[in-house]
Amino acid sequence: MTKRRLPAEWEPQDGVLLAWPHEGSDWRPYLDAVLPVFVEIVRHVSRFELAVIAAPEPESVLEKLAGSGADLERVRVCQVETNDTWARDFGPITVQEQGAARLLNFGFNGWGLKFASDLDNRINRRLEALGVWRAPLETVGLILEGGSIESDGCGTILSTEECLLNDNRNPHLSREELEEQLHGLLGSDRFLWLANGFLAGDDTDSHVDTLARLCPDDTIAYQRCDDPDDEHYAELQAMEGELRAFRTREGRPYRLIPLPWPGARVDEDGSRLPATYANFLVINGAVLVPTYDDKNDRAALEAIGQAFPGREIVGIDCLPLILQHGSLHCVTMQLPEGTIAF
C-alpha cells in the first residue's frame, strides 16, 4: 500500500462538517436549548473556513443562521437524512496519500450498537453524491469513530483500550491485528494506548477526545481530576500516570498540560453528564473550547491557549450539548485541505 499520513487536527483545513439537530433526533426535547449552540459553532467556524452542514431540512437551518453573524458565504447546507449529530464519529477520516487528500469511510455502528445509526452511516456517501467531496471516498470494512483516535501528523496515534479493543467494535481482531490494519490505512507506525480514564455518562466507551489530546510540539493536553471525592479521581489519576510514562519518538517525555476539572453536571434524573474541557476543536487560526458556566472555564481557556500559542481561543457554552452526552469536538469533524469541492 502507498504510504499514507493521518494529518494532525491543527494542520490546514478546508472546513468543518456538522449535522443539524432536528425533531426526528434525540434532541427533540432540547431543541430550543441546543440550536443556539450549533449556531454559535457555525458562526465561529465560518470566520475561518467553510461549515458544511448535513440536515434533512436545509431551509430551517438557513433561517436559524440568518442574522446570527455567521458568514453565509462560508456555509453550505446539504439535504441529507440523519439520525443524530455526532459528526466526529460518522464523518470521514482524511489521510494524505502522495500529497493528496483521501477520505476514509469507516463503518459507524452507534458506539457498539447502542443507538440507531443507519442514516448516519450513509452520510458520507450521500455527500459524495451531492458533489461535496473533492477527494475520493474509500469505504473501509472496519468500525472506527473519529473521536477514538488522535494523531500528531507524524505517525503516532493516541487511543484508549476501552474503545478500540471493545468487543462491540471489531471483535474479530486482536490488538496486534487491529494495529496492523490501522497502520496500513492511516500511515501510522506507533500507538500510544491508554488503559485508564473514563467519564460518567459517556456513551462512547471512553473516546480519547474526551480525555487526552495530542497538540503541537510533543504536547498532550488532558482532563485532570483533582477532587479525591469525585468518582473519576482514581481513574484519571491513573491516566495521568500513563501520560507521564509515555515517550516521544525521540525518547523524551511529553509536555503535559492538565486541564481543570469542571464541576459535576447532572441531568433531570440526577445522572452525571460528561463535561470535559478536552473536547475542543482546532480550526484554522483558532481553537473552539467547550465551556460549562463553570468557575474553571477561564482557566481551561488559558491552559488550551498554552498548547496552541498564536491561535484565537474561543469559548462556546456547551452545557446543552452534554444533555445528550457529548460536547463540542463530538459534533464536529474537521475536513483537511483538499477535501471539499467548493
Cβ neighbours of residue 158 under 8 Å, at least 6 residues apart? 149, 150, 151, 152, 191, 192, 194, 208, 212, 214, 220
Query: Residue 37's closest CA among 279, 309, 312?
Result: 279
Q: Is 330 a catalytic residue?
A: yes
Tell me which of 78, 163, 225, 330 is the catalytic residue: 330
Please give the Cα distance from 109 to 113 (Å, whole number): 5
Pairing of strands 281-283, 286-291: antiparallel
Find cell 480550526 and name the residue. Answer: 283
Please give the Cα distance from 14 to 302 (Å, whole number): 27
Pairing of strands 13-19, 333-336: antiparallel
| CB half-sphere exposure, 180, CA atoms < 13 A | 5
Give the active site residues: 330
